[in-house]
Amino acid sequence: MGKVVLVTGAARHLGGRFVRRIQRDPGVDRVVAVDAVEPAHSLGAADFVRADIRRPAIAKVLAEHGVDTVVHLDVTGTALGAGGRTSVKETNVIGTMQLLGACQKSPRVGRLVVKSSTTVYGSAPRDPAVFTETTPAKALPSGGFAKDAVEVEGYVRGFARRRPDVAVCVLRFANILGPRVESPLTEYLSLPVLPTVLGYDPRLQFVHEDDVIDVLGLVAQEPAGASLNSGTFNVAGDGVLLLSQCARRLGRPTVPVLLPAVTWVGSALRTVGLTDFAPEQIRLLTHGRVVSTAQLREVLGFWPRYTTAEAFADFAASRGPGPLPPAVLAGAVDRLAGRLVPGAPVTPSDDGA
């Protein structure tokens, strides 16, 4: 018999894409898609079960369908529908606890894949240049989705100790971008003018949504021989982009704001519903974050198809041109730099970045 895969967060865009993708795996017999709300997109031939993972009834779903592989994608920083931050935190933390409890009681479950985030490393002024999977955070996240992700990973490690027979894989994704991805960061990057922190130009990494689906499909499989698809892995496209480069490639002007005033700007943007400019995002846009993906390549044998720059370019193309053409914006910046630095040559930018 083939595997029976249960996928949480099926009503979300990435969840729905993965449900459709894993059905094509010849080793999969059935896919059980779970969410608390009805999905607006097609789930193919998957069996959809409307269930709230925060409730103990999720254990019954695993038992009734004979699930042996669980892919937990319902760990997110954004609400679905009318839910707020409280609902998101309950789903992330309480929902994960209930799901892990159900997995622990199920003798059939042999593989668990959990979607996490590089936000677990935080963003601080004395951070290392590059985080590896074993690098401790200089300052643990104190709130928001980043803190949720830290708590989720803590519960997953506890589960792995109690059920050493289950292959557990945690994927720490960098900021996910793509034509249809919606997140606080994509909302920020879609603003007509980007507020930035005066004096800072953070390094950022991105991973394309296609690579997210591909690596999930890889680790959800049972590899030949030993269970190699286990452990914790950073997932990001090669290379980095500075925030200033992102703004120029989008054709969007920036407004540098003093760090103490950024919190007020974030509150104002949240009030008018433009973007969720949370403290964790402010820290990212101040100090940035870069992670190593050596383990991803060496242990899993996975190379993302998109670099950070290519993932960003695909996102930028989906948002259309900004108010300032990138070439014009780059030229203006170059001319300004020439005036500020006497004698500096003024050369046209080749790519607007």
Instruction: Compute the C-alpha angle 41/43/47, nearest 5°.
Output: 135
Res 235: pLDDT: 98
Res 230: pLDDT: 87
Instruction: Assess whether pLDDT exceeds 70 at residue 268.
Output: no
Question: What's the mean per-residue pLDDT of the chain?
Answer: 87
Length of the chain equals 353
Res 278: pLDDT: 74
Instruction: For residue 131, tell me if it sits in a domain.
Output: yes
Instruction: For residue 339, tell me if it sits in a domain.
Output: no
Q: Work out how many domains the chain is built from and give that number.
A: 1
Res 184: pLDDT: 86
Distant-in-sequence, close-in-space partners of 40: CB < 8 Å, separation ≥ 6: 11
Instruction: For residue 226, tell me if it sits in a domain.
Output: yes
Instruction: For residue 259, tell me if it sits in a domain.
Output: no
Instruction: Assess whether pLDDT exceeds 90 at residue 83.
Output: no
Instruction: For residue 24, tell me if it sits in a domain.
Output: yes
Find residue 195's DSSP bridge partners: 255
- Over range 149-165, report the average pLDDT: 96
Res 282: pLDDT: 86
Indicate the range of 1-15, 76-90, 164-178, 196-210 predicted with least confidence. 76-90
Could you tell me the pLDDT band of residue 106, with boundaries at 50, 70 and 90? very high
Buried b (16+ CB within 10 A) or exposed e, 338-352: eeeeeeeeeeeeeeb
- Over range 138-151, report the average pLDDT: 88
Could you tell me the pLDDT band of residue 116, with boundaries at 50, 70 and 90? very high
Could you tell me the pLDDT band of residue 272, with boundaries at 50, 70 and 90? very low
The 10s digit of each residue's pLDDT in 191-233 is 888 989 999 999 999 999 999 999 999 999 876 444 457 899 9
- Over range 163-170, report the average pLDDT: 96
The identity of residue 14, as a single letter, is L
Integer Rg of the chain from CA: 21
Residue of 57, 72, 15, 58 lying closest to 40 (CA atoms): 15
Domain holding 137, by residue range, is 3-176+206-236+292-306
Instruction: For residue 322, tell me if it sits in a domain.
Output: no
Res 81: pLDDT: 61
CATH classification at residue 82 = 3.40.50.720
Instruction: Assess whether pLDDT exceeds 80 at residue 1.
Output: no
Instruction: For residue 266, tell me if it sits in a domain.
Output: no
Could you tell me the pLDDT band of residue 331, with boundaries at 50, 70 and 90? low
Residue of 331, 330, 341, 120 lying closest to 244 (CA atoms): 330
Instruction: Assess whether pLDDT exceeds 60 at residue 169.
Output: yes
